Structure 1
Amino acid sequence: MQAPQSKEEKQLDAGLEGLITKVHDLKNQIAAFINKLETEYETLNWPSMLDNFALMSGQLNSLKQLLRGDKMPALRNFVLFPVLLSQDPDPHLEKLTEGRVVSCNHDLVPDYLRTKPEPEVEEKINLIANKAANVNIETATKQLNSLNKITSNLLDIINSSKDEWENDAGQKGSQPQTSQQQDTTNLVAAVTKGLRLRRPDPSMQQMQAGPIHSMQQVQNPRPGMGKMPSAIKTNIKSGSAHPYQRP
């Protein structure tokens, strides 16, 4: 028969259950974001990425508040250690870890239950910490000012790009323009008043009208000329008396 749980054990179980839920939600959000980066990289834009970062940041803050809450016991006071190490597959462990850990063996336990970084990582951290401790105040101030300047420039670029994206989004949401008022005014003025229309070239007009005018002259001669004169002249004079006239 199992002994009844104490108040602290009940509080630990409830806190761990909420912690597992928060971590599961954060894991799903990170997996969805990675999937979006791998499948939608051609159409992915910066506002969408900012939305994903905001969701992950909110879930991290929620997880931090849960760890700092009154209902969550101090996890640093508890020790986690494996009860059994085995090379045989564990279906329950595989299900809990979604197939990442098949068995709790000697190779995986040092990595998954490690409370300190690996020796190589710890050595690099110590080198960086010693280097940061040896930097004098003047150099640190210059580097800090340079970093603040770069950050300020980046914020200006981001804010400017944000304004452009919002303007583009507003223009896409509005009805597209299908006409220009100035073009419409010019077209109406051209039809009604002939405004801005090119006048015909007089030389070209004369060249086009020349053959037609010549044909009209041939078909319709000018009225002043009449018929062509004959080369033989006839001179008819009236006689004083008719030769066969009766006396």
Structure 2
Amino acid sequence: MQQREEKQLEASVESLISRVAHLKNSLQSFIFKLESEYDRLSWPSVLDNFALLSGQLNTINKLLRNEKTPSYRNQVIIPLLLSRDRDEELAKLTEMRVPVFSHEIVPDHLRTKPDPEVEEQEKQLSADAARIGPEVAQKQIQTLNKLCSSLLEKLNNPRDDRDAENAALRQNKPWFNPADTNALVAAVGFGKGLSKCRPPAPVAPGHPGQAMMTGGPTLQQVTIAGASSHQAGIGGAVAQQAPGQPGKIPSSIKTNIKSAAASMHPYNR
């Protein structure tokens, strides 16, 4: 019976050492990435390393809770030999971290209580927690649970559903004002809402502001004036306005005006 328990203890310790070695390698690899590859380390890679560490810790906890694993709390480690000389076998087992098993190292490695600094911090945290009343603590717990539940719902919600909801919101969102569109169509098609243009006020002949008030000379008047000046320069007949008919030009001059306009107009095409 005792031999079977000893073999079971040795097997569980070996399995535990193997799991802890895998966890240690993962931690070393992650620390190396953080120290040397921090400039090109992406957030998904960091999450993958955290997931690996979390899975290995869960595996160790399952191994410790297994029914076949003996309770390590019932096992006591007692140093049988203390020496100041270097122990190569001990250094090899501890990866050169503990080369000597002396009276200075034993209290640190066989300690069953945390370090004094850690113990002091734990006492301070316990005192701070005790000062909080049960009602305040319950409210804080409910608030934290609500935040965690909301975060879990968002994380568990599939990405496709979120994309579909965003697409539906974009489709249902109005991109124009129907009232403005109807007013624009009515103004363009039927002239609704447009102010009427008032006719220019009559101006006395010879008034200096006549050209500006009446909108200035038209293109036909400028063409006629240019053609008349050209004909006067080459010895052509200049049309004289008939009395009583201001602004009326004889038909014989119109033909000459067209030819002159076609040859002398600066914007001829």
TM over 0.5: yes
| Bin for the TM-score computed over the shorter chain | 0.5 to 0.7
Secondary structure of the 1:6 match is: helix
Corresponding position of 1:30: 27
- How much does 1:149 deviate? 6.3
Q: 1:41 aligns with which of 13, 33, 38?
A: 38
Q: Supply the AA of the counterpart residue of 2:46.
A: M
Q: Supply the AA of the counterpart residue of 1:50.
A: L
Q: Which structure 1 residue ranges, 5 or more long, are not aligned? A: 168-247
Alignment of 1:141 with 2:157, yes or no, is no
Give, in whole Å, the separation in 2 of the partners of 1:35 and 1:19: 24
Alignment of 1:14 with 2:11, yes or no, is yes
Give, in whole Å, the separation in 1 of the partners of 2:42 and 2:82: 47
Q: Provide Cα deviations, 1:171-210, integer angstroms capped at 9, x if missing partner.
A: xxxxxxxxxxxxxxxxxxxxxxxxxxxxxxxxxxxxxxxx
Q: Supply the AA of the counterpart residue of 1:88.
A: D
Q: Supply the AA of the counterpart residue of 2:89.
A: H
Corresponding position of 1:66: 63
Q: Supply the AA of the counterpart residue of 2:76.
A: V
RMSD, matched Cα: 2.8
Q: Provide Cα deviations, 1:123-152, integer angstroms capped at 9, x if missing partner.
A: 321222132123112322343355456657
The change in CA–CA distance for 1:156 and 1:79 in structure 2 (over 3 A counts) is: same
Q: Provide Cα deviations, 1:64-89, integer angstroms capped at 9, x if missing partner.
A: 11111122111111101211111111
Give, in whole Å, the separation in 2 of the partners of 1:26 and 1:93: 21
For these two proteins, the number of residue pairs brought into alignment is 160
Corresponding position of 2:105: 108
Corresponding position of 1:76: 73
Counterpart mapping for 1:117-196 below 5 A: 117-148=114-145
Secondary structure of the 1:132 match is: helix
Q: Which structure 2 residue ranges, 5 or more long, are not aligned? A: 164-269
Give, in whole Å, the separation in 1 of the partners of 2:86 and 2:105: 13
Corresponding position of 1:50: 47
Give, in whole Å, the separation in 2 of the partners of 1:5 and 1:77: 14
The change in CA–CA distance for 1:88 and 1:158 in structure 2 (over 3 A counts) is: farther
- How much does 1:155 deviate? 6.7
Give, in whole Å, the separation in 1 of the partners of 2:128 and 2:62: 33
Secondary structure of the 1:93 match is: helix
Give, in whole Å, the separation in 2 of the partners of 1:71 and 1:151: 35
Corresponding position of 1:85: 82
Q: Supply the AA of the counterpart residue of 1:130.
A: A
Identity of counterpart residues, as a percentage? 52
Between 17-26 and 111-120, report the one with greater CA deviation. 111-120
Query: When the two structures are superposed, what TM-score results if normalisation uses the length of structure 1?
Result: 0.57
- How much does 1:101 deviate? 1.0
Give, in whole Å, the separation in 2 of the partners of 1:152 and 1:126: 31
Give, in whole Å, the separation in 2 of the partners of 1:109 and 1:142: 46
Q: Supply the AA of the counterpart residue of 1:112.
A: H
- How much does 1:19 deviate? 0.7
Q: Supply the AA of the counterpart residue of 1:96.
A: L
Q: Supply the AA of the counterpart residue of 1:68.
A: R
The change in CA–CA distance for 1:69 and 1:137 in structure 2 (over 3 A counts) is: same
- How much does 1:30 deviate? 0.5
Question: Which runs of at least 4 in structure 1 moved beyond 2 Å after TM superposition?
Answer: 118-121, 141-160
